[in-house]
Amino acid sequence: MASIRVEKLAHALGAEVSGADLSRPLPAPAFAEIRRAWLDHLVIRFRGQTLSDPGVRRLMHRTQIKDGHAALQPGRGSPRPASG
């Protein structure tokens, strides 16, 4: 089983999740840890991951993330900075 590690990035929110290859199927307990990290920290970061659009959709579906940020939504590209 993958060894998921969650490192808090800031006091208010944010964590980096490591120890999981998101391009491969992960067991339910690993996904539960990833989802718990998202619920606990509101923003999670995965470094060094390469996911196709279907891979991002599978991750969002499996972790039950309903409205991901534009950066997580397949085919949307990078979010643009707010103007003004």
Percent of the chain with pLDDT over 70: 71
Distance CA 31, CA 62 (A): 7
Instruction: Judge whether 17 lies within some domain.
Output: yes
Average pLDDT, the chain: 77
55-71 per-position pLDDT tens digit: 888 877 777 666 555 44
Number of domains in the chain: 1
In a domain, residue 61? The reply is yes
For residues 8 and 16, give the distance between their C-alpha atoms in angstroms, rounded to a whole number: 7
Whole domain around residue 46: which residue ranges?
Answer: 5-72
- Confirm whether 83 is domain-assigned: no
In-domain check, residue 77:
no
Q: Quick check: is 84 in a domain?
A: no
50 or 15: which leads in pLDDT = 15
